[in-house]
Structure 1
Amino acid sequence: MQLRDDFAKHISELHNPIDRPYTASIDKSLLENIEDVEHLNKEIHDVNPDYLTFLPAYFWVFYFAIGWIYFSSFMFLIVSTDGLLHLQSYNIPLLVLDVSIALSMFIVFCTPLILLLYHFFRKYPIRTQYYFLKKEQKIAYYYRPLWKFRQSYELKIVDYKDIRPDLHQDPYNRAYTPLNLYVADPETGDITHHLKLEDYRVNPRVQWAFIRTYMESPADDLPIDNEICQAYPVDTSGSLFACADIIYRKNGILPSDHSGGGQIMVFIIGSIIALGNLFQANHYQCTKRAILHPEVKKLLTWDGQDNPYPIQTITDESKLAFEGGNWEVNVRWVGIILINVGLFVWAVMAYNS
């Protein structure tokens, strides 16, 4: 494969290279896949003359988090409560041992919950975020190694034309091939940038055709469905509850104008997984805040007017909601949280009775 040979001398990760930017015509037939295109429309966070961003694929992460937190909380209450209530103060060694065990359990099992609550206030991104800058023909992203969680995210900007796309086979699940974008040093062939677009819910060839269509073609060529793809206020960090509504709005359960409707389904579903909804909502906040980095901001020139892409416009109700002033949104989510807490307390008491 000449494409593989031209790519680099020292790359072992390359599995299935596909067409590079501007090297071949875009296979528009890929964009006729209705389900994949609908999925991409739902994941779009911004699409305008200057830049395109996706809401990161985050489904498994926040469900794993709430499962860990709820399970660990159950275990902590079940295992430690009875023992702590019957501590014998006259037996000092046993008292010290019991307290030490309780503290150790608290640190191990409750740290995820503490970190999650801390993250709600800190508002830093967890996942890598990518911004496809059409006017500048660059891709900006924020990177931090997973094991260096105390390190700040580092901004990286690469030329779009230098990208080498590859369908990287997941060694643990042969059914999926997520899209990976590489940049290699032309002299040594060593990888200098690795952008992992880990969206397992869409055909990676469709995803790449979608990105190429945006970066290389007129606005009319991008398959945007204005019934699905929605505009968001410039700063979505104003209201955690409004960001939580995104989850239900992009799936058609809530109307995009925050005018009511679909409320009962949100109550039923949200009352069960409220923590997961708020966790994902907090990540939406972080996604938008990252674009305020001065090195990215200076590359953006769109003034928010005359968008050539057919997307739903921002309504007055949406603006009010994202400013935290829409009482229907606020009351609904306060009620959902209270129901969720009540269900959790009831389950703990019922299990220990």
Structure 2
Amino acid sequence: MQLRDDFAKHISELHNPIDRPYTASIDKSLLKNTEDVKHLNKEIQNINPDYLTFLPAYFWMFYFAIGWVYFFSYMFSVIFILLFIVNLDFVLSGFTVWFVLVGILMFIIFCTPLILILYQFIAKKPFRTQYYFLKKEQKITYYYRPLMKFRQPYELKVVDYKDVRPDLHLDKYNQAYTPLNLYVADPETGDITHHLKLEDYRVNPRVQWAFIRTYMERPADELPIDSELCQAYPADTSKSLFACADIIYRKNGILPSDHSGGGQIMVFIIGSIIALGNLFQANHYQCTKRAILHPEVQKLLTWDGQDNPYPIQPITDEAKLAFDGRNWEVNIRWIVAIIINISFFSWAVVAYNS
């Protein structure tokens, strides 16, 4: 398995290893951290006697990418208008070819990010990895593809939970970023064979590992689940980008949890300003490669779908409609937010050039 150069190549090179599965008692004091446990409850996509999975985590680079799109799209509009207005006589005096070449170059440089995002909305290429912790089978399943090999298809990976070696990986470029990484090594050579990057920097990685260990190793009643926060989501890909975008707001307590259409004004105020970014994040959730849908993983599942011992909110009728794209309270809210967002952007360009 090919790893990035800045990650461990050998098990002895791990940065800060912590206790492995079943090798030590779980520090339950970690699960008394209200904020971190609350965060994990909101991040759970599904939890039952068969498997636990969290929503795919996102880097701060996502927000940087959205800023890139806005900045360069805006600058393209401004520079193109200024060149056309200020240098109109210059263009007509015989430098049309130069003007066209400059215009094409600016279009490529400034609008490529926006075009790529619009392409992603249509093509729905998966970027994020989702990990499934199978409790009864004591395995972890996920899809893997090398970071920069976009044309290579994803490979299904199934690893034994007991072979995992957790490590608090320190990012040398960002000392404040310490995510939980899970490694599996060859027992003879010690070489890393699997690298699971959970990548959620918003929670204490020790709390996250204690949470996962409690799920995998202990009875259901020992897992700190808040039924008001932990909600069920469809295990398959949603048909509605807008319903996926609603998840962002519901996790932050801005919207009610049932996709009822409430909280309209708050979404118009907040969502209209950063609607593109939220929709892009929702697109990543919508098209994440889900190992749970693979036949080989389905063979490992034994739960019959009844009597879930974990207290979670079921999928409401409104949510089912929303994820099928047929909840028009949700759809209209996001359509209006997008229209307001476009209006803000257009106003900014016009105001700058007036």
TM-score by length of 2: 0.91
Deviation digits for residues 1-23 of structure 1 (CA, Å, limit 9, x no counterpart): xxxxxxx9944631221111111
| Contact 2:168–2:178 (Cα < 8 Å) also in 1 | yes
Conserved? CA contact 1:43–1:54, under 8 Å: yes
Report how far residue 300 of structure 1 moved. 3.0
User: What does the per-residue CA deviation read over 1:48-93, in whole Å, with 9 as the maximum and x for residues that have no partner?
Assistant: 11111111221524322221101001111122233346273672xx
Deviations 1:240-279 (A, max 9, x none): 1111111111222111112243221111110100001111
Where does residue 109 of structure 1 map in the other structure? 110
Deviates more, 1:290-299 or 1:165-174: 290-299
What pairs with 1:269-288 in structure 2 (closer than 5 Å)? Answer: 269-287=270-288
Match of 1:322 in 2: 323
In the alignment, the residues of structure 1 paired with residue 97 and residue 296 of structure 2 have an alpha-carbon distance, to the nearest angstrom, of: 54
Counterpart of 1:88 in structure 2 is 91
The code of the aligned residue for 1:88 comes to V
Equivalent-residue separation in structure 2 for 1:23 and 1:212 (angstroms):
11
AA at the equivalent of 1:65: A
Measure the CA separation in 1 of the matches of 2:270 and 2:137.
42
Cα shift at 1:303: 4.0
Matched, 1:121 2:122: yes
| 1:120-269 pair list within 5 angstroms | 120-269=121-270
Q: State the match for 1:21 in structure 2.
A: 21
AA matched with 1:28: K
Q: Which amino acid aligns with 2:114?
A: L
Q: What's the offset of the Cα at 1:291?
A: 3.5
Q: Deviations over 1:90-113 (max 9, x none)?
A: 72xx32232222222212221111
Check the 8 A contact 1:230/1:312 in 2, yes or no.
yes
With normalisation by structure 1, the TM-score equals 0.91
Shift of 1:236: 4.4
Contact in 2 for aligned 1:31/1:210 (Cα 8 Å): yes
Once the two structures are superposed, what CA deviation does each residue of 1:88-144 show, in whole Å capped at 9, x if it has no partner? 3672xx322322222222122211111111111222321222111112211112222
Question: Percent identity between the aligned chains?
Answer: 80
| Contact 2:272–2:340 (8 Å) recurs in 1 | yes
Q: Structure 2 vs 1, CA of residues 9 and 127 (structure 1 numbering), >3 Å: closer, same or farther?
A: closer
Q: 1:109 to 1:294 in 2, by over 3 A?
A: farther
Deviates more, 1:209-218 or 1:103-112: 103-112
Give the conservation status (yes or no) of the 8 Å contact 1:55–1:287.
no
CA distance in 2, matches of 1:17, 1:195: 14
Contact 1:56/1:129 (<8 A) preserved:
yes
CA contact (8 A) 1:253 1:265 kept: yes
Letter in 1 for 2:263: G
Of 291-300 and 322-331, deviating more is 291-300
Quote the Cα distance in structure 2 between the aligned partners of 1:143 and 1:80: 42
Change (3 A) 1:247 1:96: same
* Unaligned segments of structure 1, at least 5 residues: 1-7
Paired residue type of 1:115: L
The CA distance in 2 between the partners of 1:164 and 1:307, in whole Å, is 29
Matched pairs, number: 344
Amino acid at match of 1:17: P
SS of alignment partner, residue 120 of structure 1: helix
CA distance in 2, matches of 1:17, 1:343: 49
In the other structure, the counterpart of 2:5 is none
Work out whether 1:298 is the aligned partner of 2:299: yes
CA shift in 2, pair 1:284/1:303, >3 Å? farther
* Change beyond 3 A, Cα 1:291–1:68: farther
Q: Which AA in structure 1 matches 2:56?
A: P
Task: Provide the aligned C-alpha RMSD in A.
Answer: 2.0
1:146-169 per-residue CA deviation (whole Å, 9 max, x = no partner) reads 222333322221111110111122
Contact 1:236 1:243 in 2 (8 A): no
1:301–1:100 CA distance, 2 compared to 1 (3 A): farther
User: Cα–Cα, structure 1 residues 242 and 124, in superposed 2: closer, same or farther, change >3 Å?
Assistant: same
Specify the alignment match of 1:73 in structure 2.
73
Structure 1 residues 13, 286: CA separation in 2 closer, same or farther (over 3 Å shift)? farther
Q: Which residue number corresponds to residue 54 of structure 2?
A: 54
